[in-house]
């Protein structure tokens, strides 16, 4: 059975961050709001491509959008990064305390794990 733990939130964030361009965009708007056009100007791909990246980032809730006339200002949402760090810890949840894990490794003889 592959019901698999559903984690759309985490998955979206991971996938969004998997692209180098998107990470760069995120860096651009980490500290200041930038308009879509300004962001696009930082790359040599078309404005459309950047717009799609922005959509992906926004879907993952990594960006906040603010409209100012015809312009749309974007800014990174740090809360999401914090959430991602939590997700990383959860990924490692089975052995959160690393020190203990290493000790366990030394004497990995006894294990009562169910799978």
What are the residues binding a second copy (CB under 8 A)?
A: 2, 4-5, 7, 11, 14-15, 17-18, 20, 23-24, 26-27, 30-33, 42-44, 68, 76, 78-79, 81-82, 84-85, 88, 91-95, 98, 101, 104, 108, 111, 113, 115
* Tokens encoding 31: 């500290």
Nearest to 33 by CA among 78, 64, 69: 64
Nearest to 61 by CA among 81, 36, 35: 81
> What are φ and ψ of residue 73, in 5° steps?
-100, 135
Pick the binder of DNA from 53, 60, 76, 84 (CB under 7 A): 53
Where does this chain bind DNA (CB under 7 A)? 15, 18-19, 21-22, 35-38, 40, 45-49, 51-56, 65, 69-72
């Amino acid at each position: 059975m592959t019901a698999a733990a559903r984690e759309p939130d985490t998955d979206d964030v991971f996938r969004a961050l998997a692209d180098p361009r998107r990470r760069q965009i995120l860096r651009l708007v980490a500290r200041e709001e930038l308009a879509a056009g300004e962001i696009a100007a930082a790359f040599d791909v078309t404005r459309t491509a950047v717009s799609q990246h922005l959509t992906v980032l926004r879907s993952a809730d990594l960006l906040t959008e603010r409209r100012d006339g015809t312009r749309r200002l974007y800014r990174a949402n740090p809360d999401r990064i914090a959430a991602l760090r939590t997700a990383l810890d959860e990924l490692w949840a089975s052995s959160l305390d690393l020190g203990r894990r290493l000790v366990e490794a030394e004497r990995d003889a006894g294990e009562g794990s169910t799978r």
